Amino acid sequence: MRRYIPVEIGVYICFAVLLVIGGIKLFQSLSKRSESNGDALKTLKPAEAVVLAAGLSVDGLAVGFGAALGNANVAAIIILSLFTDVFAIILGCYAGRKLVQRFKCNVSWLGGAVLIILAFTKLL
């Protein structure tokens, strides 16, 4: 497959998708902050969760695409991905709860910012 699609193309596609989704989430959270009194920002709506999951799934898709180009052990990547993703979700939920409890501030913009940072790490 490497003969037909350069690896760099996958990196740039992943960067663009993560940057766009992160920018949309960041813009939505900032515009909601000005419209809302803050109560609606304490929970993540299913549609917002789907957008965040799609952005992070694109990252996984890029990893899988790169692994296929590099002749990596696909079964090992799937198993490691499953465990690290579940661990990251549990850790993120815990950290998010502690952050909101401790600081009582609006961090709805953080999801978009993380996606934008993740996009730029793809270029490194």
Instruction: Judge whether 123 and 11 are in contact, CB under 8 Å.
Output: yes
Which tens digits make up the pLDDT trace of 66-92?
A: 677 677 777 887 888 889 888 988 998
Average pLDDT of the residues of the chain: 77
- Using CA atoms, how far residue 119 sits from 43, 47, 75, in Å, is 25, 21, 26
- Say if CB 112 and CB 29 are below 8 A apart: yes
Where are the chain's structural domains?
A: 7-121
How would you label 39-57 residue by residue, b for 16+ Cβ within 10 Å and e otherwise?
Answer: eeeeeeeeebeebbeebbe
pLDDT above 50 for 108? yes
Q: Are 27 and 71 in contact (CB under 8 A)?
A: no
Q: With 0.75 as the threshold, say if the pTM is over it.
A: no
